[in-house]
Chains A and B, each alone.
Chain A
Amino acid sequence: MLHPASSWDWQPGERVVLDSTGCPAPHEWQEEPYVAPDGETFGAAVRLEDGLFTMCVNGVPWEASFDKLWHPRFGPDGRLIAIVQQDGEWTLAVNGEVWPETYAFMWTPLFSLDGAVIATAIQQDGRYGLCVDGTPWDTLYENANEFSLSRDGQASAAVVQTQSLAAADIAAFQRGVFSVAVNGQVWDKTFVNAWTPTFDAAGQRVAAQVRLSLYDYSIAVDGELWKQNYACVWEPRFNPASGAVVAPVRIAGSWGLAQDGQIIWEPVFAQCWQQDFSRDGKTIGAIVATGYGKFTVAVNAKPWSATFPVVTDLVLSADGKRAAALANEYNANWRVVVDGQAWNGLFDMAWKPVFSPDGLHVAAKVEKRNRQTVLLDGKPYKRDFEQVWEPSFSPDGAKVLIRARDGGKYLRIVAQATDF
């Protein structure tokens, strides 16, 4: 990783990075801000007085400006990207430098885990696929969606349409014209549908949900089908240690988990999705519903006793000993739930909890009455802000980085447990 968390400034305390978050260059308007993972850089799209767009980064506009600009985001390594249009052609600007390749349209940028590789969806001459660091797949398709990049960025995949369909040709559709392309190469088999292609940890294998007829769902791994079909399936994921493929499956109206086509969690749930693994692959957690309207988390098939109308954003600690998720009542009264226990406090919104690398601590961003703050192990930071970004832990787990915007300033705070 070019810029790992271990190299960030972890000196405890509060630092004002920007006295004013407004772009000093003359502009018509400024859009939503984004900040780098290390908290050192603050960027926002601005429309300049000449009608062109650029990014203003820590108060300095990029040299280049563009006819259109959207989707500004910081990558994991701190590079700032934006999708930009110049003379009717789209490309990606990375820290203000554009890729030499341009396309008729570009969207959905994807980063490798360390941020070194960036892929985006592209359309050129009515053909669809991905480009990786600007270079398009050799083969583009009639349509492509459900884009995916491996952790190391060396492989990319998408669901692709392998042949044209005449208008309302339902027979051709049901014969199957969709498949998965990996690095632009399509699998041999086609399906009625394919969704959510996903890579294994090494980026060597791909698993996807497939529909074989209008009624039979299964999982395909590198183009090979599981032997079993199901009434429905959700996203498969690879066990990071064993390489086995695990997916939620629906049998006789209930959901469980199957691994390589064998049931590992009995189908007893009204819902089951977003399964996640511990690093050693021995623990599996998933969001489940134990009944109609009763959502919770199950760890190794055992559901927590507390249930909620809605549960989202499950995360397991790396060692698998702990799990955290968010619960809410139809988008109100959000709670952070850790190991089956809801923390004190109801919020207007909460964001995905984050475990410290050692799994001992949990932090989460929350919002109440339009003010935001960070909770550590259930306790709020000593003050709140107009906006905070999601927290991250120092490698030793002892400190929390809070990136915050308040009163026109942008702050970078390294907080310790005593600050909460």
Chain B
Amino acid sequence: MGIKDRLIEDVGLREGVKRLTEDKIEQVVQTVLKGETGARLAAYSEICMRCGLCSEACHFYLSHDGDPSYSPVGKVQQTMAVLLKKKGRVSPDFIYGMAQIAYTECNLCRRCVHFCPVGIDTGYIMSTVRRICHKLGVTPQYIQDTAHSHSATFNQMWVKEDEWTDSLQWQEDEAREEFPGLRIPLDKEGADIYYSVIAPEPKFRTQLIYQAAAIMNAAGADWTMPSEPGWDNSDMCMFTGDFEMMGRLKRKHFESAQKLKVKRIVMGECGHAFRSVYDMGNRWVAWKMYPVPVIHSIEFFWELMKQGKIKLAKKYPGPVTVHDPCNVVRGRGHHEKLRELVRFLVDGPIIETASNREHNICCTAGGGVINCGPPFKNVRLDGSKAKAEELRATGVKTIVAPCHNCHGGLEDTVHRYKLDMHIKFLGDIIYECMEKPS
């Protein structure tokens, strides 16, 4: 089986390829390969032995009964390897399939790097394929719409400026009923912490803002949230391959924090945004590291726990299992902090999935795959069978998943595979168990 046997209709891909000619494709591929890729891509294509050891790493391969066309090397063979061999002279139809593989059959999770004897990063190769697809104008409709939103509003869900601040004030009002005197300080210059979130929070997960405010308040944190654009740390442009826009988003985000003279940014429970702020987006801008330190919620809550600033009235009933978000675990090594924190919060053991920590299997939503929307939902869920089996084997009811995308993806997986589990953010658990005014 190969991509030709499983093409899915998507208006973004379809309309995109209609505009292409082989000449145009060749020119764009050459421009990207010559101008933007350099030694790394060349080395990967030279040293890959086609040994297939990476196959077992990929949940798409595992979930499709070992179909080699879903293996990392199989995906490279159907995309970049062909571009390199044919020097970019391929047909528009080829681009359709290539885009579908790169955007919807790879989560850029980088699990395969650990399985490859020579350390080939298939996620990087797929990112480069996506970059070419972006330049060719062949991107799935829904994730492209998200990228459009980023460009027009500096957030990923078309949240208008008044809606943002109004949501914060509304959550502050609500939380103040429960925690007298609570504030969500807006634009407080010189605060210790700039708290940043992603647009689904003001749009439909406002309870997360409420909970964050409750935790900050209880911890006595000196914190602020910005009223103006820059507050959304997320970055679907990184995943569509629109690196110019990725750079613009990161500039906006960091300048917003710099303008407020904060010491550091604490970001909500999001995985992919972390990749954008400390790896890809910052680098496009020419900053080696993030210009303002960005602390993921896992680390922040862990810090609060160590400092005795989270006071629990009760523990959350365990056992639980932990889902490690790729970008903060493989990308940043937060897996032990996550477990220490969970042990502190939960009464009962952590039952690990068979693959865990830096070898964790991706939720299958990451890398922008869930953002490709309804047309690809079934593909995504077919691909999460391996994850579902590992989750089922734990026998527990609660999955702790400190990432928005993982959360969304795992909810679908739980539903599809009838797992009878529910998914919690760390903030959900801390809020539920913390001491509150009587």
Minimum distance in angstroms from B111 CB to a CB of chain A: 28
Q: Can you name the residue of chain A whose Cβ is closest to the Cβ of B373? A: A168
Cα distance, A149 to B238, chains bound together (Å): 33
Distance in angstroms from B280 CB to nearest chain A CB is 14
Chain B binder among A1-9, A289-297, A316-324: A289-297
Task: Check if B165 sits within 8 Å of A351, measured CB to CB.
Answer: no
Given A105-B162, A173-B148, A211-B151, CB of A309 within 8 Å of CB of B135 = no
Chain B proximity mask over A29-53: 1 for CB below 8 Å, otherwise 0: 1011000000000000000000000
For B15, list chain A residues within 8 Å (CB): 171
Q: A171-B15, A331-B291 are in contact. Are A105 and B165 (CB under 8 A)?
A: yes
- Say whether A170 contacts B145, CB under 8 Å: yes
Beyond A145-B153, A310-B291, is A28–B261 a contact (Cβ under 8 Å)? no
Contacts of B291 in A (CB 8 A): 309-310, 328, 330-331
Known: A107-B165, A217-B244, A331-B264. A168 touches B141 (CB 8 A): yes
Chain A residues closer than 8 Å to B183, beta-carbon distance: 29, 31
Q: Does the CB pair A173–B161 fall under 8 Å?
A: no
> How many residue pairs, one in A and one in B, have C-beta atoms under 8 Å apart?
115
State A173–B293 Cα separation when bound (angstroms): 34
CB pair B227–A71 under 8 Å, yes or no, is: yes
Q: Is A150 an interface residue (CB 8 A)?
A: no
- Give the chain B neighbours of A170 by CB distance below 8 A: 11-12, 141, 144-145, 148
A330 touches B137 (CB 8 A): no
Q: How far does the alpha carbon of A312 sit from the alpha carbon of B260 in the complex, in Å?
A: 13
**Bound-state Cα–Cα, A349 to B262, Å:** 9
Instruction: Report the bound CA distance from A46 to B183 in whole Å.
Output: 12
What A residues does B408 contact at CB under 8 A? none
Contact B142 A168 (CB under 8 A): yes
B333 CB → nearest A CB, Å: 18
Residue B435 is within 8 A (CB to CB) of chain A in the complex: no
A281 to B175, CA, bound (A): 52
Question: Is A143 engaged at the interface, CB distance under 8 Å to the other chain?
Answer: yes
Question: How far, in angstroms, from A121 to B163 measured CA to CA in the complex?
Answer: 13
Residues of B within 8 A of A217 (CB): 244
Interface residues of B in 178-211 (CB under 8 A from A): 181, 183, 185-190
Bound CA span A339–B15, Å: 53
B373 proximity list for chain A (CB < 8 A):
168
User: Which chain A positions have C-beta within 8 A of B153?
Assistant: 143, 145
Q: Which chain B residue lies CB-closest to A67?
A: B173
Against A, the Cβ 8 Å flags (1 = close, 0 = not) of B277-310 are 0000001011111111100000000000000000
Q: Are B227 and A107 in contact (CB under 8 A)?
A: yes
- Nearest A residue (CB) for B189: A32
| B293 touching A123, Cβ below 8 Å | no
Contact B160 A293 (CB under 8 A): no
CA distance A331 to B185 in the complex (A): 21
> With an 8 A cutoff between CB atoms, is B337 at the interface?
no
B188 near A295 with CB under 8 A, answer no
**Could you tell me the distance between the alpha carbons of A42 and B189 in the complex, rounded to whole angstroms?**
16
Interface residues of B in 112-134 (CB under 8 A from A): 134
Report A264-281 CB contacts with B as 1/0, cut-off 8 Å.
000000110100000000
B313 at the interface (CB under 8 A from A): no
Residues 214-232 of A at the B interface (beta carbon under 8 Å): 214-215, 217, 231-232
What is the distance, in angstroms, from A257's C-beta to the closest C-beta of chain B? 16
Q: Which of B134, B228, B289 lies in contact with A108, CB distance below 8 A?
A: B228
**B154 to chain A: closest residue by CB:** A145
Q: B145 contacts A168, CB within 8 Å?
A: yes
CB distance from B373 to the nearest CB of A (A): 8
Q: Which residue of the partner chain, among A192, A270, A349, contacts B261 with CB atoms under 8 Å? A: A349
Q: Which of A192, A252, A310 has the most CB of B within 10 A?
A: A310
Asked if B268 CB lies within 8 Å of chain A CBs, one says no
Give the residues in chain B near A379, CB-CB below 8 Å: none
Q: A107-B162, A217-B244 are in contact. Are A331 and B292 (CB under 8 A)?
A: yes
Across the interface, do A232 and B244 meet the contact criterion of CB distance under 8 Å?
Answer: yes
Residue of A nearest to B259 (CB): A312
| Residue A161, interface by CB 8 Å | yes
A377 to chain B minimum Cβ distance, whole angstroms, is: 22
Size category of the A interface is 35 or more
Instruction: Judge if B235 is at the interface, Cβ distance under 8 Å.
Output: no
* Set of chain A residues within 8 Å of B247, measured between Cβ atoms: 232
Interface membership of B263, Cβ < 8 A: yes
Is the pair A271, B244 in contact by a Cβ cutoff of 8 Å? no
Give every chain B residue within 8 A of A345 (Cβ-Cβ).
none
Check B286 against A331 for contact (C-beta < 8 Å). no
Instruction: Give which listed residue, A32, A107, A295, contacts B161 with CB less than 8 A.
Output: A107
Q: How far is the CA of A121 from the CA of B12 in the complex (A)?
A: 34
Per the bound structure, the CA–CA distance linking A318 and B134 in Å amounts to 44
Contact A312 B166 (CB under 8 A): no
Scan residues 5-38 of chain A and give those whose CB is less than 8 A from a CB of chain B. Answer: 28-29, 31-32
Nearest CB on B from A187, distance (A): 16
**Is A243 located at the chain interface by the 8 A CB criterion?**
no
Task: Please determine whether B141 and A310 come into contact, CB atoms closer than 8 angstroms.
Answer: no
A408 within 8 A of B: no
**A330 and B293 contacting across the interface, CB-CB below 8 Å:** yes
* B162 x A123 contact (CB < 8 A): yes
Query: In residues 204-247 of chain B, which contact A (Cβ within 8 Å)?
Result: 227-229, 242, 244, 247
Of all chain B residues, the one with the shortest Cβ separation from A271 is: B286
Decide if B27 is an interface residue (CB 8 Å cutoff): no
CB of B63 closer than 8 Å to a CB of A: no
CB distance from B40 to the nearest CB of A (A): 15
- In the complex, how many angstroms separate the beta carbon of A349 from the nearest chain B beta carbon? 6
Selected contact of B190 from candidates A68, A193, A349, CB within 8 Å: A349
- A270 and B286 within 8 A (CB): yes
In the bound complex, how far is the Cα of B276 from the Cα of A234, in angstroms?
20
Known: A68-B169, A232-B247. Contact between A32 and B289, CB under 8 A? no
Closest chain-B Cβ to A370's Cβ sits at a distance in Å of 10
In whole Å, how far is A217's beta carbon from the nearest beta carbon of chain B?
Answer: 7
B263-A331 in contact (CB<8A): yes
Contact A309/B264 with A31-B185, A71-B187, A253-B35 known, Cβ cut-off 8 Å? no
B10-37 vs A, CB cutoff 8 Å, 1 = contact: the mask equals 0110010000000000000000000110
Some 20 contacts from A to B, beta carbons below 8 A apart, are: A29-B181, A105-B166, A108-B161, A123-B162, A128-B160, A128-B162, A145-B153, A145-B229, A170-B145, A170-B148, A214-B134, A214-B137, A231-B244, A253-B35, A270-B286, A293-B287, A330-B291, A330-B292, A349-B190, A367-B190
Chain A interfacial positions (CB closer than 8 Å to B) = 28-29, 31-32, 68, 70-71, 104-105, 107-108, 121, 123, 128, 143, 145, 161, 167-171, 173-174, 178, 192-193, 211, 214-215, 217, 231-232, 250, 252-253, 270-271, 273, 289, 291-293, 295, 309-310, 312, 328, 330-331, 348-349, 351, 367
Chain B residues near A (Cβ < 8 Å): 11-12, 15, 35-36, 134-135, 137, 141-142, 144-145, 148, 151-153, 160-162, 165-166, 169, 181, 183, 185-190, 227-229, 242, 244, 247-248, 251, 258, 261, 263-264, 283, 285-293, 373
- 5 tightest Cβ-Cβ pairs between the two chains A and B: A293-B288, A105-B162, A270-B286, A168-B145, A271-B286
User: What 8 new A-B contacts, CB under 8 Å, besides A29-B181, A331-B263?
Assistant: A71-B227, A108-B161, A143-B152, A145-B161, A173-B148, A271-B285, A310-B291, A330-B292
